[in-house]
Structure 1
């Protein structure tokens, strides 16, 4: 019974000390006082004999089987102190991590705000680009319309200007029948009477002369046909100047040749074809074996 009382006393004292250590800690004197207090509380005033016996029994039992309470309390105090230090370190670490988390959260929030601003800027730029594309498209359409109108207007003006500049002719030698022309003792001007085209009426089928109504570059071409045994030779003249010769000669069978030239003519200049003396050509109406043609390539400015 006495041993049980001693054990309970020690256990209660141990629990109290642990609580005090957790709450604030006790020193060794306070622990001894607490033990004395607990001993007095557990052992109400009795006879001196009973107190002495209990003290003697408690000391005997404690000496026999219970460890030194002071050493256990010191070890427990050291452990609790170490754990409190660990808790403080852990608390500091947690506080530091919380601060890092707050800083990271702030950084993420700033980055999100930057991304939103960038997204807004990109959206505005896209809108500006679309508006610019629309503006450019409208301007291009307007320019194209102006160019189209200008082109049509220019074409119409050129048409009006060139209405009197449409000059071209083509004619065959004989209007009817067939036969030889030549030979003659002198050169003669050929009159191409079978007129196929005479735009601008610059060619005269009665005289065989083309007279330039405009200053410009003109293209002329002649072809000849004949029979062997006699040469066939003709020339294109500009005013009184021979510029192109067409010639062929064969002992027998047919003779053919052609030639052309581009001439710069002033207003009133004349172009015609002359048959050389001593030569002859042969023609059949509507076959136009001998032909004379010309047209205006482009007008030139009068200076």
Structure 2
């Protein structure tokens, strides 16, 4: 508090001196008297002892406060300068790290793009070169009848004539699409009169087309075909109708089931 009073006193005296110099100037005695007068106003004497103590404390405070303030300002300035330097260094480091990260991300993006394009091209080539075709006869050996049965059955064409791509299973009689595309299927039926010869091409459990012939006597012969759009995993097979009978032998292959890929689709 004494230091603050000292500072205010000096400022007031300085303003007064400047004003007097502007108005006409003061001599040294007048300045001394003015300072003494100001000291008297700020510290009115109560006793000789108190006045002396107050004068001594004020002088010591004035002498001590200014060096402390200047030292604090110098220390604060040095600290601010140091912090500014640290901030500039940190900003530079952050910019360098940001540039490095962006470059690494761009490299990764390029790698992923190149890999994806390579995989797509490889898949296209694989699909383009993929060949799927099969044809199978009903009997592996010998001759005989199949049917009649009280309910529908899936025909198993056991004699594999062609099975490129191995998409047809001779054990189950089911063709399973290995890739999306457009396929052609055909079925032929042969039998003897009296029961009729009827079979259907089935896709995923749904009847698509039927090959049918019926007459009381003599031979029965029919065929039918269809073009199907299949997704990967779709199944196609042939079912013999109830109460129908077909006839075949392994030499003539009168009942057949065939199919092939016309073209793949993306």
1:60-79 to structure 2, matched below 5 A, reads: none
Shift of 1:158: 9.7
Which digits, 9 at most, give the CA deviation of each residue in 1:60-87, with x for residues without a partner? xxxxxxxxxxxxxxxxxxxxxxxxxxxx
Deviation of 1:159 after TM superposition, in Å, equals 9.4
Aligned length: 146
Structure 1's unaligned 5+ residue stretches are 1-156
**What is the aligned partner in structure 2 of residue 297 from structure 1?**
262
Could you state the TM-score of these two structures normalised by the residue count of structure 2?
0.53
Aligned: 1:246 with 2:220: no
Aligned residue among 120, 138, 141 for 1:173: 138
Deviation at 1:231? 0.8
**Cα deviations across residues 221-268 of structure 1 (Å, max 9, x unaligned)?**
000100011111000000110001110011111000000000000000
Does the 8 Å CA contact 2:154/2:238 hold for their aligned counterparts? yes
Distance 1:232 1:273 in 2: 13
Q: Which residue of 1 aligns with 2:171?
A: 206
2:237 aligned with 1:259: no
CA distance in 2, matches of 1:192, 1:257: 17
Misfit runs of 4+, over 4 Å = 157-160
Native 8 Å contact 2:197 2:214 kept in 1: yes
1:184 pairs with 132, 149, 154, which one? Answer: 149
* 1:277 is aligned to 2:242: yes
Using the alignment, how far apart are the partners of 1:210 and 1:164 within structure 2? 20
Distance 2:129 2:235 in 1: 18
* Separation (CA, whole Å) in 2 of partners of 1:276 and 1:219: 22
Query: SS at the partner of 1:161?
Result: helix
Q: Deviations over 1:26-82 (max 9, x none)?
A: xxxxxxxxxxxxxxxxxxxxxxxxxxxxxxxxxxxxxxxxxxxxxxxxxxxxxxxxx
Q: How does 1:113-262 map to 2 (within 5 A)?
A: 160-162=125-127, 165-262=130-227
Q: Which residue of 2 aligns with 1:134?
A: none
Contact 2:132 2:164 in 1 (8 A): yes
**Residues 241 and 219 from structure 1, CA distance in 2 versus in 1: closer, same or farther, beyond 3 angstroms?**
same
What is the root-mean-square deviation in Å for CA atoms of aligned residues?
A: 1.8
Relative to structure 1, is the Cα distance of residues 235 and 280 closer, same or farther in structure 2, using a 3 angstrom cutoff?
same
**What TM-score comes out, normalization by structure 1 length?**
0.46
Counterpart contact for 1:175–1:286, Cα < 8 Å: no
Shift of the 159–214 alpha-carbon distance from structure 1 to 2, 3 Å rule, reads closer
Q: Structure 2: give runs of 5+ residues left out of the alignment.
A: 1-121
Q: Distance in 2 between matches of 1:248 and 1:174?
A: 20
